[in-house]
Chains A and B, each alone.
Chain A
Amino acid sequence: MEVGVLKRADGSSYVEWGNNKVFASVYGPKEVIPRFLARNDKAILRCKYNMTPFSVEDRKRPGPDRRSIEIGKVTSGALEPAILVEDYPNSMIEIAIEIMQADAGTRCAGITAATLALVDAGIPMRDLVAACAAGKSNDEIVLDLCKEEDNSGQADVPIAIMPRSDDVTLLQMDGILTEDEVEEALKLAMSGCKKIYEMQKKALKVKYGG
Chain B
Amino acid sequence: MECVVNERELVTPGTLVATGKWNLSGGVVREGDEVFSTVLGLFYHEDERKTVRVVPLEGKYVPKAGDSVIGKIVKVLPGKWLVDINSAYIASLEPRNAIHDRIEDLSRVYDVGDLIFAKVDYVNEIYDATLFTKASPYGKLRGGSIFELRPTRVPRLIGKKGSMIYMIKQTTRTKILVGQNGLVWVKGRKEMEDIVEKAIDIINREAHTSGLTDRIKEFLETEREEISKS
Contact = CB atoms under 8 A, between A and B. Distances in A.
Contact of B29 (A84, A90, A91, A121): A84
Interface string B1-23: 00000000010111010000000
A30 B59 contact: no
Contacts of A200: 12
Contact of B88 (A28, A125, A128, A164): A28
Given A122-B58, A124-B27, A204-B40, A31 B14 contact: no
A67 interface: no
Contact of A89 (B10, B40, B127): B127
B90 interface: yes
A30 B209 CA distance: 29
A122 B40 contact: yes
B89 A40 contact: no
B13 A124 contact: yes
A59 interface: no
Interface in A127-168: 127-128, 162-164
A119 B27 CA distance: 12
Contacts of B209: 209
A11 B59 CA distance: 9
Interface in B32-64: 36, 38-40, 56-60
B58 A120 contact: yes
Most B-side CB within 10 Å, residue of A10, A29, A163, A208 = A208
Contacts of B152: 122
A128 B58 contact: no
16 contacts: A11-B58, A31-B89, A31-B90, A40-B126, A90-B89, A119-B58, A122-B40, A124-B29, A124-B38, A125-B14, A125-B39, A127-B13, A127-B14, A162-B14, A164-B14, A201-B12
